[in-house]
Amino acid sequence: MHSLLLESSGHALFDMYPERRGNIFSDEVYRLVKAKDAKSTFSLDKETEDSGRQGLPQNSKFSQNDVVMLTLQPAGVGDFFGGSSIPTNKDATSIEARVLGTGPTYVDVAIQGGRFEATFGPAPNNFGPAGKGDPNLRLRMDRYFSNVPYNRMVEAIGQLTTIPPKKTKEEIALLKEADRKDASHRRSVDGVIRQTILNSFAFSNKESPMYGDLDAAKLNDLVSSLAVATI
């Protein structure tokens, strides 16, 4: 039931049938449509229904340039409740794709050349040397969020908030010498800037004991420090 709610809310599509549609430079284009025997269907207007295609959710969140994850439904149609068809499962067979365009009955995606066939086998309508693939091939499609921006954000926050361990006089001398020789390799955040960001947040956070208190947040002192530093 949870999986069906995920689809009806527009964040996933189940029982998708892939059709090979050509190439864009080194990428291969596939059109994914609801299989005719799909277990979950959605109503369409009369004009669209005349095409014989199954509809997609009207509130589908898939749009151009989205990153999506295609995952094999091992047992074919209806196999989207099992763990092996969930993209986050280590045993799932999945690949990443990019949305080129969408319609009421389809989603077109671009995939790096050769990856689809290497992962799922040829598409059912394939005309290449590998021949046509399994007509019972069914895929699950999920909106996917890359963790690269997230990891970069975590690293940046870590640089701002991590309190460096206290160094000995010998370590400080070595660091000063290293900075003198090659200052371009330093990756530390200026202490005044870090304190300004942290204290500004504390000043504006209603749950902070420093909320609205200029003296406690020491913002006036930090502003003076920044002014002196820029002279």
pLDDT in tens, 194-206: 777 777 777 788 7
The predicted structure's pLDDT at residue 74: 92
Domain 2-143 belongs to what topology? Elongation Factor Tu (Ef-tu); domain 3 (2.40.30)
Question: What is the per-residue pLDDT for 85?
Answer: 86
Domain ranges of the chain: 2-143, 148-230
pLDDT at site 43? 74
pLDDT score recorded for residue 128? 82
pLDDT-derived band at 151, boundaries 50, 70, 90: confident
- Mean pLDDT, residues 174-200: 64
Above 80 in pLDDT, residue 166? Answer: no
What's the distance, CA 179 to chain centroid? 38
Give the residue from 61, 53, 58, 64 showing the smallest Cα distance to 16. Answer: 53
